[in-house]
Amino acid sequence: MTTLFTPLSLGPVELGNRIVVSPMCQYLAKDGVPGDWHLQHLMQLSLSGAGLVMLESTAVEARGRITHGCLGLYSDESEEALGRILSASRSAAAPGTKFGIQLGHAGRKASTQVPWKGGAHLSSGDALVEGQAWETVAPSALPFTSTWATPRALSESEMDEIANAYVDAAVRAVRLGFDVVELHSAHAYLLHQFLSPLSNRRTDSFGGSVAGRQRWPLAVAARVRAALPDSIAFGLRISANEWTPGGLDVDHAIGFTHRLKELGATYVCVSSGSADFGAKVPWGPGFQVPFADAIRRATGIRVRAVGGIADPVQAEEIVHSGKADMVALARAFLADPRWVWRAAETLDAPTYYPPPYERAKGLRRDAVRVG
């Protein structure tokens, strides 16, 4: 048995294998509500046989969406639609496949065009299909780039309201039956914006020192953890390097992870970058794995590696060598929703095929006569 296809416990949740479908924004929701696109997208990924399927980053309030097309979990309509999609996906999933949701808030990176229309910040005069711009908020009144609108610095009372929104979204996720709840604290979204000295210039108790910048993200994490039953695994996506002088590095990530573990976090997903628009990120297959390895060894928490991982042999090496407990793939699953089947054949490991699809077993390896 390869390590990649062995079970893994995330606290109370048992995964059938170490393969995770990474959260992937689809930008096709309407007012935060998912539709038929999301149904087919999640159902085909649920067929994959991955141990954990993560739903895309889901905003906890309307102004926390990246684009007008981003998913949200702040309304009864969205909760109802997600319930339909999750139920259908579970019915098609491999035995043991678990489902998670990533909750987030874009902060100063909100109110943008969808990527295929350039991803630029919306202005109040834009007449686009996506709709008009909206006010963005952040720890400090610093725009993400010189061409983007300047966000409004949040007051403490507004920070408390957003923390309540995180809790409310987490409670909705519990009602929906998600097995895992994850907070997005990377990619320069709001929680990450508070952590980073590049975006947090506050002079009150939520800025200045490392402890000050961590105070609000840790408070949000603590409140969400407290709102979840013990049967649900809780984790965060974090940034281990901002690839910018004066930005966060892996030592900060280790310290932050220690605090998260004390609060009851089950795991962290280790990412990097996106805090500085001009940062030069040395992207490549598995380029963030050394950060995951360092955090796992220093803290003992479960760690998920992500970033350009697509080769089954590389994925097996990462978990077999102990660099990470699990690997997450995104674009590899977009290109091949049956990636798990291919990996199992490559590594000579057993995996699940839905009975109607068992005829496809071995198709990638052997010559098959059609007829």
Phi, psi of 327 (to 5 degrees): -125, 145
Higher pLDDT, 95 or 141: 141
- Please report which confidence band the pLDDT of residue 1 belongs to, taking 50, 70 and 90 as the band edges: confident
**Number of helices followed by number of strands (H, E) in the chain:** 10, 12
pLDDT band at 128 (very low <50, low <70, confident <90, very high): very low
Paired tokens of 121? 């910040």
pLDDT band at 277 (very low <50, low <70, confident <90, very high): low
pLDDT(148) > 50: yes
How far does CA 282 lie from the centroid of its chain? Answer: 21
From 189, 267, 353, 357, the catalytic residue: 189
Residue extents of the structural domains in the chain: 3-360
- pLDDT surpasses 60 at 251: yes
User: Does residue 23 surpass a pLDDT of 50?
Assistant: yes
Is 189 annotated in the active site?
yes
Tell me the pLDDT band of 46, cut-offs 50, 70 and 90: very high
Domain 3-360 has CATH 3.30.230.10: no
Reported pTM = 0.94
Q: Is 240 left (phi over 0), alpha (psi -120 to 50) or beta?
A: alpha
**Mean predicted lDDT score pLDDT of the chain:** 92
Average pLDDT over residues 41-51: 95
Q: What pLDDT was estimated at residue 365?
A: 55
Mean pLDDT of all residues in 205-210: 97
Min mean pLDDT across 28-32, 34-38, 174-178, 246-250 is at 246-250
Nearest C-alpha neighbor of 273 from the set 90, 109, 101, 27: 109
CA distance 20 to 114: 25
What are the tens digits of pLDDT across the range 323-353? Answer: 999 999 999 999 999 999 999 999 999 888 8
**pLDDT for residue 130 is more than 70:** no
| Ranges of H-type helices in 228-360 | 250-263, 289-299, 312-320, 331-335, 339-346
**Percentage of residues in the chain with pLDDT exceeding 90?**
80
Q: What are phi and psi of 289, to 5 degrees?
A: -60, -40
- Residue reference for tokens 């978990």: 319
Percent pLDDT > 70 in the chain is 94
Q: So what's the pLDDT on residue 370?
A: 39
Mean pLDDT of 122-137: 70
Name the band, by pLDDT with cuts 50, 70 and 90, for residue 127. very low
